[in-house]
Amino acid sequence: MSKVLVTGAFGQVGSDLLKALIIKHGKDSVVATDIAEPPSIFKDLHSEKLDVRNPEMLKKILVKEDVRKIYHLASILSASGEKNPFFAFDVNIRGTYDLLRICSEIEGISVMIPSSIAVYGTDSPKDNVSTRAPTRPGTMYGISKVTGELLGMYFYKKFGLDVRGLRFPGLISYETQPTAGTTDYSVDMFIHAVKGLKYSCYLREDTMLPMMYMPDAIKSMINLSEADPSRLIRRIDYNVSAFSFTPSQLYSAIRRIIPDFTMDYSVDSRQEIADSWPASLDVSDAVLEWDFKPEYSMESMVADMIMNLRKD
């Protein structure tokens, strides 16, 4: 039986993607790989401990499991990447290169590699930023994501490897704790609000960033992976996003449901990263080439986040 494999499977995106893939393909067709141990909800799933800096191990798993599709999510995010840029280079750039090289030797495999708004830098425009805008990032995470896009296109053209990708904005989800990204303040704000705790936000109140709710992110990745290849021109770097907001706008939206919630600001080095990213994205390439259409508005996302966090 051919399988779908996810790297970085127990991270923020992976945890939600696994659930969707299990529903779609059945538990026995999904292989979760991660450097971390599986959380209890996935203990019945076939998982392999994998450090993506170990290509031999990856190759063994791909061949043994007859993997036909990979979602390559293993990545060191922007804030932790700046704390340890050499580690981020090894995991994100070397890891992606090795994965593509191995896959180019396996017939009939396809690869989905999410990219990020972090590909943009201070010389990109701020508003309604096109896929075609300059990508000269200032963070190791951004550099690794631009490199992943370029390598993906190279492997497609040179070896015919079916590589696809999309640039995610900040992603909001209730399944996992915020990890090490710059946009994660939003998730952290929700968690504090629902627990009745005061939140101290590390970004300035007027920092506008593009965002999307996780169900839409998962759906868009799966839709792109199944899209008619004859429609795909850009293939690897589609901007996707559902709305943009600032910390102060999110605070007001949460307070409409949790009026006692309080917050102050304690800005740190992540502000510089956020300042180099777009405030909003032009998603027209994704709409044109594979019918991208997010369902959640900011308002429906806020209500759903709070409802789900309250269940836990």
Q: Which residues are catalytic?
A: 141
Q: In the bound complex, what is the minimum distance in angstroms from residue 214's beta carbon to ligand SER?
A: 11
Q: Establish if 189 lies at the interface with ligand SER (CB under 6 A).
A: no
> Residue 93 and residue 100: Cα distance in Å, rounded?
11
Residue among 8, 170, 210, 294 that touches ligand SER (CB under 6 A): 170
Position among 165, 181, 210, 247 found at the interface with ligand SER (CB under 6 A): 181
Shortest separation between residue 169's beta carbon and ligand SER, angstroms: 7
Name 202's Cβ contacts closer than 8 Å, sequence gap at least 6: 185, 265, 266, 267, 268, 270, 271
SS3 state at 130: coil
Rule CB under 6 A: which of 92-151 touch ligand SER? Answer: 116-118, 141
* Dist CA 310 CA 118 (whole Å): 31
Q: Spell out the long-range contacts of 16-20 with Cβ–Cβ below 8 A and sequence spacing 24 or more.
A: 16/173, 16/175, 16/214, 16/215, 16/217, 16/218, 17/71, 17/73, 17/218, 17/221, 18/42, 18/45, 20/218, 20/219, 20/222
Considering beta carbons, is residue 77 or 99 the nearer one to ligand SER?
77
Is the Cβ–Cβ distance between 270 and 207 less than 8 Å? no
Q: Binding of ligand SER at residue 207 (CB under 6 A)?
A: no
**Near ligand SER by CB under 6 A: residue from 18, 77, 218, 253:** 77
Which listed range, 16-24, 97-105, 128-136, 181-189, lies at the site for ligand SER (CB under 6 A)?
181-189
Shortest separation between residue 218's beta carbon and ligand SER, angstroms: 15
Give the integer Cα–Cα distance in Å for 58 and 49. 10
Tell me: does residue 183 bind ligand SER (CB under 6 A): yes
**Count, residues in the chain:** 312
Residues ≥6 apart with Cβ < 8 Å to 79:
180, 181, 182, 184, 270, 273
Closer of 103 and 117 to ligand SER (Cβ): 117
Provide, rounded to whole angstroms, the least separation between the CB of residue 148 and ligand SER: 12
Binding residues for ligand SER, total number by CB under 6 A: 11
* Given 168, 213, 238, 296, the residue binding ligand SER (CB under 6 A): 168
Binding stretches for ligand SER (CB under 6 A): 77-78, 116-118, 141, 168, 170, 181-183
